[in-house]
């Protein structure tokens, strides 16, 4: 699969726990898909565990799923680390290379 005319292979990682490493090294994130009950909450992606927050979105209380494709990939120089609360988000899929 190619994105935006590039020849980069894109991988996906599904996360179901509240805080977890999505990648073990540098990566570019192209988008996310989040599922959960109709409850408000935050989804964040940081540059490594406890690193700089590079992406944050607030999930509305009336929303079950969020699909977001980024216009340009977000570069994580260390690793991609996700955080959310399982009462608001039960599954997060991160598209990355």
At 1, the pLDDT band (50, 70, 90 cuts) reads very low
Q: Which distant-in-sequence residues (6+ apart) come within 8 Å of 5 by Cβ?
A: none
Which tokens hold the place of 87? 């009462």
Q: Say whether pLDDT at 44 is over 80.
A: yes
Which tokens hold the place of 62? 């009336």
The model carries a pTM of 0.87
Average pLDDT score over residue span 53-61: 92
pLDDT in tens, 10-43: 999 999 999 999 999 999 999 999 999 988 989 9
Q: Say whether pLDDT at 2 is over 90.
A: no
């Amino acid at each position: 699969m190619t994105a935006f005319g590039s020849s980069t292979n894109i991988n996906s990682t599904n996360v179901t726990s509240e805080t977890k490493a999505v990648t073990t090294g540098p990566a570019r994130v192209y988008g996310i898909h989040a599922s959960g009950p109709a409850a408000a909450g935050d989804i964040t992606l940081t540059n490594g565990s406890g690193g700089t927050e590079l992406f944050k979105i607030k999930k509305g209380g009336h929303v079950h799923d969020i699909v977001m494709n980024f216009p340009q990939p977000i570069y994580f120089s260390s690793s991609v680390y996700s955080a959310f609360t399982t009462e608001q988000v039960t599954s997060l899929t991160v598209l990355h290379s």
